[in-house]
Structure 1
Amino acid sequence: MKWMKVNMKPFMALFMAMNAALVLWSSSAVASLESPQQEVERITTDLLATFEKNIGNYKKQGDVGVDLFIAEVDRQLSPVVAFNSIAKGVMGKYSRRVSAEQLDQFTRVFKSSLINFYGKALLKLDDTQLTIESVKAVPESVLKDYEAGKARLIPVDMSVRTSTTSVALSYSMVYMDDRWKLRNIIVDGINIGIQFRNQFADAMNKHGDVQYVIDNWTKIMEGNAASEKKS
């Protein structure tokens, strides 16, 4: 399978910082939620400021700093990303062929490998100048469609600028556990959820054993990361 080449550097930084940002607290029902624009912008700005303030210290501490940083990333992402839903989507049709225990195992493996991969990648970035250019308000009609069950996800579109380029982002949000959580991300037109799903399907075509793919998912991810780096 020929993989699409994607400039992952801005995505790596934005994925980790922005994922944790896109959580909208609400004590009322989904129907009463207004556009998430201001809340997304406020929390994102705070998180980007925290990242820029601490990234230097993490880099100076070597392996200890890496572990501390990944632990911080885990702390931020765990409550705000729908890892179980994402993992099921990544497995695609194979999620219907596995046991509940296998699905739980893959969710844990997927979450751990993703946080480690992107946490380490983020630490390697020299470009920490990330600013929000724009955040589009979610139309009331979209929220009403979601409330009525006519839509599975709510898109939150924004543009973020690094020191060298502008990146268009679209976050797919789902309301679960009494809060909005991140379900997927599209970066400059590249659907990251589909990329991971294709990766899982490719591994299944190659190995033909879902338990093997689950057990070795971290190595599979690292292998594709290495291929991306060499290409």
Structure 2
Amino acid sequence: MKTLFKQTLTASILSTMIAGTAFAAPSETPPVFVKHVADGLIASLKANQAKLKANPSAAREIVRKNLDPYIDSQAFTRIVMGTYATNQYSTAAQRAQFEKNFRESLIENYGSAFAKFTNQTYTLRPYKDTGSKNPVVTLDFNNNGEKIPVSFQLVDKGNQWKVRNMNVSGIDLGLQFRNQFAANVKRNGGNIDKAIATFKPDADAATQKK
């Protein structure tokens, strides 16, 4: 049950990693920002729980409305592509296509995970400001007594907080997806266009890595 919930939670959050314009101001501290986003998402899930079970497209709309604006998808793309995000291996157009494909794949494959929401709650861990340019805020999602820690790494993008990477139960998702993409490049004989076109991020596999 814990593994299933962790995979569902991860898929749900990852399906939101799309570019947008964040509305949080830098005067909002990192934990306040993350709590604001989490509360908005949970409120929408609770309000639409019955609809989600019958209509996966409703989940995708919740994603776009509640979380899209707060994700730095360009940074996440660079993390996942790794060395292939440099001009030596890819063009700006290829990176843009990767970002688009990555977004759509997550929405299509994991949007239905929101339908599994059953009123889980979370607690916010005490936050200590270390002065890092990429502060980390951790939430413990509660599922029948089990705690699933999810850490959000943030970045200030033009006076706006955005999420640039995530860690679930000690697993760096950006790194796991990077390994998956690198393996896909190899399977396609180093052809970046083919690797981008066929890449399907596997959140379930990522969250089981240790």
Instruction: State TM-score, norm by structure 1.
Output: 0.73
Instruction: Determine whether 1:179 maps to 2:173.
Output: no
Instruction: Determine whether 1:91 maps to 2:81.
Output: yes
Instruction: Determine whether 1:45 maps to 2:44.
Output: no
What is the distance in 1 between the residues matched to 2:76 and 2:158? 15
Gap change, CA 1:156 and 1:66, over 3 Å in 2: same
Unmatched segments (≥5 aa) in structure 2: none
Instruction: Determine whether 1:210 maps to 2:192.
Output: yes
What is the distance in 1 between the residues matched to 2:107 and 2:61? 9
Larger Rg: 1
Gap change, CA 1:206 and 1:177, over 3 Å in 2: same
SS at match of 1:198: helix
Opposite residue 198 of structure 2, the aligned amino acid is N
Contact 2:82 2:178 (8 Å CA) reproduced: yes
What is the distance in 2 between the residues matched to 1:39 and 1:80? 10
Deviations 1:124-179 (A, max 9, x none): x2x5222122332242xx23x42xxxxxx111122121224111121100111431
CA offset at residue 186 of structure 1? Answer: 0.6
Quote the RMSD (CA, aligned, Å). 2.9
Deviations 1:19-76 (A, max 9, x none): 9xxx6722xxx5xx4643344334422421221220211323xxxx222321331233
Contact 1:17 1:44 (8 Å CA) reproduced: no
What is the distance in 1 between the residues matched to 2:101 and 2:50? 29
Unmatched segments (≥5 aa) in structure 1: 147-152
What is the distance in 2 between the residues matched to 1:132 and 1:226? 21
What is the distance in 1 between the residues matched to 2:204 and 2:39? 32
- Number of matched residues? 197
SS at match of 2:48: helix
Identity of paired residues, percent? 25
Q: Which residue of 1 aligns with 2:140?
A: 159
Gap change, CA 1:17 and 1:87, over 3 Å in 2: closer
Q: Which is helix-richer, 1 or 2?
A: 1
Which aligned pairs between 1:68-147 and structure 2 lie closer than 5 A? Answer: 68-96=58-86, 97-123=89-115, 125=116, 127-139=117-129, 142-143=130-131, 145-146=132-133
CA offset at residue 80 of structure 1? Answer: 0.9
Deviates more, 1:167-176 or 1:47-56: 47-56
What is the distance in 2 between the residues matched to 1:74 and 1:34? 22
Contact 2:24 2:33 (8 Å CA) reproduced: no
